[in-house]
Structure 1
């Protein structure tokens, strides 16, 4: 007798008592909401949340759906951690360094000054101690985490005036994403402003901001910063590889079936890879368009970079002195970074340096 006939004649109770389960178990539909800290106008970052949602629905056959909501739709852009902690939200897509006001350790989930590149961050998070340490920290906020993608090394931002030395930063009112970078820049005399991306253009236009940093050419062009701040500097030494995160309500995640947990993890991996690849594919053409339209592309001077490094190391030392947990995570990240940089000297750096010097 085949399986289907056995179930028909014996009935489900008899089948289960015989230790034979049907091939497919019916699962209750699951409906989650994800609040992003970013606007819909950014197909790179916000697109990662949409890719995640689409993948979850496809893998579950429509039985698990995650609706995506732009910044401000459900909660304010910087209100997502509170919502997760209070169990009013199942998921968020954000940059963890937005929440260093709660604890400076949040910065390590995204980027710190002179920190890891995208590949190095991925390696530390998934095969070093990064994810283990960060999720142990996030647990006190009812959060577990996954990468939502990485921007790669970011640009140094848009300025209404030329920045030749560190002295030119004094008194500058600058929008910055958050994290320890703001503390380092404050040491250089910058007045840090933390505001959602969608509010920056108007502030630059009115002159209430003198400068802004966001991500890189593709996103920055879409936000129109080149129209109100002509000087575009590089590199963004505060974000060598900024990781965006999916923050998941820990209680909600633990309540999922093993199958749905696997779907969440798989969808996160798909979305993260897609975001990083999208940035790498679209930034070159966007940078060409910006320069062609009159953007003044300039490198930060070594003197300014050195000043930024000194200020950053002072910030790290101060936090290490106050927090053993901060010190543990920072020292672990730096040890991992030293090995990654050593390897990069013999691999990507040498290769890219040669290819960059030949005519392709």
Structure 2
């Protein structure tokens, strides 16, 4: 028999490869990418990741890992915030800063907080999942538009494409806009023809799909302050490994999420200059209007707490405490 110290564990990793090579946050999962290489080095080859692109549709990835059809996967959770047992909180306005450069650091601090991770890990265990690490994306809280947004009244009647699914649409609706469902490939043409008046998405992604060519303004809003994928492992698979391999995997996860945070922050900062050169004007709501907007979108947090129950309330307190500690340290 092969001893536990000599056994090689091969894990099938279902990569949600739907974004292409434009986004570094997704490319860490690619074959021979950072995740695969770092796991190989940290475990001396005792854990081998078999990366399978588009092994399952996005909406089936969580169930596929929980039931053992795959051993691990990256989950694009903003679409399903609060509806799955991950208790994804990033869609809730006013927890992290509206400035993505600040928000990314604050969000990372949340996922490095022991209390937050204790709550998440306990909840995930109930569905046979183990949290591994997060990959942070450029927050999708900016509104690309032809018309300048100066007040909360400017959102009224606006036809808006909203990233973030149900909760994002709920917030936009409460600000007076109507949500319009359009595929990513059709967003720029839809803006050009007037099918939509605005597109709520990230700076870098919006630029990459041509929104800068059909927009004059990019305005930060309280909606969708984070956009993050969870990386999870089948709990039984994880528990079957010896303690040294478990620690090695978790250490790699911590390194990866810090690395991706820095990379995404750098990408965002570089995007600022690129978008400015395109002629698009970046704006924020004036303080008084921002305050009004935050009042309007409180409904998102209220609905999230109702959907997640007592576990959500406990998690939200731990998250706010973690962000406060991070800000005090800075």
Q: Under a length normalisation based on structure 2, what TM-score does the superposition of the two structures give? A: 0.80
d(CA) in 2 for partners of 1:184, 1:262:
40
Counterpart pick for 1:332 among 313, 318, 322:
318
Q: Is the 1:118–1:150 Cα contact (8 Å) retained in structure 2? A: yes
> Which residue in 2 is equivalent to 1:130?
116
Q: Which runs of 5+ in 1 are unaligned?
A: 1-12, 14-21, 348-360
- The alpha-carbon deviation at position 151 of structure 1 amounts to 4.1
Deviations 1:299-349 (A, max 9, x none): 2333442233113333323554562222222233334444444x16xx4xx
d(CA) in 2 for partners of 1:141, 1:103:
10
Deviations 1:205-239 (A, max 9, x none): 1355443333333x4433333234342122x5335
- The alpha-carbon deviation at position 153 of structure 1 amounts to 5.9
> Which residue in 2 is equivalent to 1:80?
61
Are positions 1:201 and 2:182 aligned together? no
Are positions 1:44 and 2:31 aligned together? no
d(CA) in 1 for partners of 2:20, 2:52:
9
Matches within 5 A, 1:84-233: 84-100=65-81, 102-103=83-84, 106-108=87-89, 110-116=90-96, 117-151=103-137, 155-171=141-157, 172-178=159-165, 180-192=167-179, 199-207=183-191, 208-217=195-204, 219-233=205-219
Q: Is the 1:29–1:63 Cα contact (8 Å) retained in structure 2? A: yes
Are positions 1:33 and 2:13 aligned together? yes
d(CA) in 1 for partners of 2:9, 2:324:
47
d(CA) in 2 for partners of 1:194, 1:85:
30
> Which residue in 2 is equivalent to 1:66?
49
Q: Which has the larger radius of gyration?
A: 1
Q: Is the 2:113–2:322 Cα contact (8 Å) retained in structure 1? A: no
In the superposition, relative to structure 1, how do residues 146 and 225 fare at CA in structure 2: closer, same or farther (>3 Å)?
farther
Deviations 1:229-274 (A, max 9, x none): 342122x533545443212222222223333323321221222122
- The alpha-carbon deviation at position 292 of structure 1 amounts to 1.0
In the superposition, relative to structure 1, how do residues 185 and 141 fare at CA in structure 2: closer, same or farther (>3 Å)?
farther
Which range is displaced more, 268-277 or 116-125?
116-125
Q: Is the 1:37–1:80 Cα contact (8 Å) retained in structure 2? A: no
d(CA) in 2 for partners of 1:194, 1:101:
20
Q: RMSD between aligned alpha carbons?
A: 3.2
Q: Which runs of 5+ in 2 are unaligned?
A: 97-102
Q: Is the 1:181–1:312 Cα contact (8 Å) retained in structure 2? A: no
In the superposition, relative to structure 1, how do residues 226 and 335 fare at CA in structure 2: closer, same or farther (>3 Å)?
same
Secondary structure in 2 matching 1:213: strand
Alignment length, in residue pairs?
A: 316
- The alpha-carbon deviation at position 114 of structure 1 amounts to 0.9
Q: Under a length normalisation based on structure 1, what TM-score does the superposition of the two structures give? A: 0.74
